[in-house]
Amino acid sequence: MGKLGISIYPERSTLEKDQAYLDLAHKYGFKRVFTSLLQVNDDKKKVLSEFQQTVRYATDLGFEVMVDINPDLFKQLGISYDDLSFFHEMGADGVRLDLGFTGAEEAKMTRNPYGIKIEINMSSGTKYVDNIMSYSPNVNQLMGSHNFYPHRYSGLGYSHFIACCEQFKQYGINTMAFVNSPSASFGPWPTQDGLCSLEAHRTLPIATQVKHLVLTGVIDDITIGNAYASEQELEAMATAFFAEFPTLKVDVLTGTTKEEREVLFNNLHSYRGDRSDYLLRSTWTRVKYKEWEFPAHHTVNMSRGDVLIDNALYGQYKGETQIALKEMKNDGRVNVVGRIATEELFLLEFLRPWSNFKLEENGQ
């Protein structure tokens, strides 16, 4: 099972606020912390003392703390890639290389005596990870994570994102991506329009971002890039991440009956494997509720994302649950009872035949 993470930026907040946020995230099962040293301009001793308290508090709660650095920071702090004692003294579990070295250095860093993990940038799309692998790193100590993008419209496109992930997954390397909290207000830099890895996620609810990353099957860990997410968002994110099955939100139409709500929301649905281009079919409900009437109502024409239940006029199909994948004419035998929430409509592309899923009423 992967891990959920939060980000903290001690130089832009207070110890008390960071500790309260860590407590809240811990409550909902979060296990990772991302923090950055890239904005630090002070001497080594001051940097160590300022970060140490927050990092120690996090590790005492059981968090794995990753610190974002780059080669210039090594020079600035007077430390070397082959001596990671500075980060060990800080209490960090790992370092994330925002910009890397040549490959040989990263491989050597994975064999440091402190057990500090080395997390490398996944977003470049180059042969960077292949180069590191050619120097025989300790793969158990090597991790990958995508960038986040404070500038609107600068985030990763989906096809590039997947290609980058697959480069890492072929080696069995742990992968991580960032999601954006709509209610959070700051990151490591003064300007930010949210902090997500995928541009398509920037304005989506946080739970929807998480559902999407889980459904891709190529991301192990998910971290909120900005701070501070609300408790409601932390809870929603944890629910989506740890769910046994993916769940899609449904806007229920007026006139939908109590029985139809039972069919939609109190069942585990299964995407029938002999798939149609027009319908995602969940057929078990017609068996389970074959004694129910399902009178015809709201038999309007259908469009992609409409949630459907065949009515009594459809004979043996009565009670079958479906989701429209294309526009279709309605001859009166199908009740249109809801619609997949607009922001989650794209998730239909990621449900696979023979997979199970659940539906939940939007706003509940």
What is the residue-wise DSSP string for 137-187?
--GGGEEEE---B-STT-SBPHHHHHHHHHHHHTTT-EEEEEE--TT--B-
Strand partners, 248: 359
Q: Could you give the CA distance from residue 109 to residue 118 in angstroms, rounded to a whole number?
A: 7
Report yes or no: 197 and 123 within 8 Å, Cβ to Cβ.
yes
> pLDDT (tens digit, 9 = 90+) per residue, 337-363?
999 999 999 999 999 999 999 999 998
Which residue carries 């209490």 as its tokens? 91
Report yes or no: 299 and 311 within 8 Å, Cβ to Cβ.
yes
For residues 121-125, average pLDDT:
94
One-letter amino acid of 108: K
pLDDT at residue 296 is higher than 80? yes
Report yes or no: 255 and 298 within 8 Å, Cβ to Cβ.
yes
Residue scoring higher pLDDT (242 or 14): 242
Q: Do domains 4-243 and 248-361 have the same CATH topology?
A: no
pLDDT at residue 44 is higher than 90? no
Q: Could you give the CA distance from residue 221 to residue 153 in angstroms, rounded to a whole number?
A: 23
Report yes or no: 359 and 286 within 8 Å, Cβ to Cβ.
no
Report yes or no: 277 and 325 within 8 Å, Cβ to Cβ.
yes
Residue scoring higher pLDDT (284 or 44): 284
- Specify the pLDDT at position 155: 98
Which residue carries 């959070």 as its tokens? 184
- Specify the pLDDT at position 217: 97
Q: Could you give the CA distance from residue 329 to residue 81 in angstroms, rounded to a whole number?
A: 65
pLDDT at residue 100 is higher than 90? no
Q: Could you give the CA distance from residue 16 to residue 46 in angstroms, rounded to a whole number?
A: 19
| Residue 328: strand, helix, or coil | strand
| Short-list 234, 226, 197, 228, CA closest to 213 | 197
- Domain 4-243 is of which CATH architecture? Alpha-Beta Barrel (3.20)
**Assigned token pair, 44:** 């080594």
Mean pLDDT of the chain: 95
Strand partners, 334: 310
What is the residue-wise DSSP string for 297-326?
-----B-TTEEEEE-GGGGGGTT-EEEESS
Domain spans in the chain, listed from the N-terminal domain onward? 4-243, 248-361
For the domain spanning 248-361, the CATH number is: 2.40.100.10
- Specify the pLDDT at position 42: 67
| pLDDT more than 90, % of the chain | 85
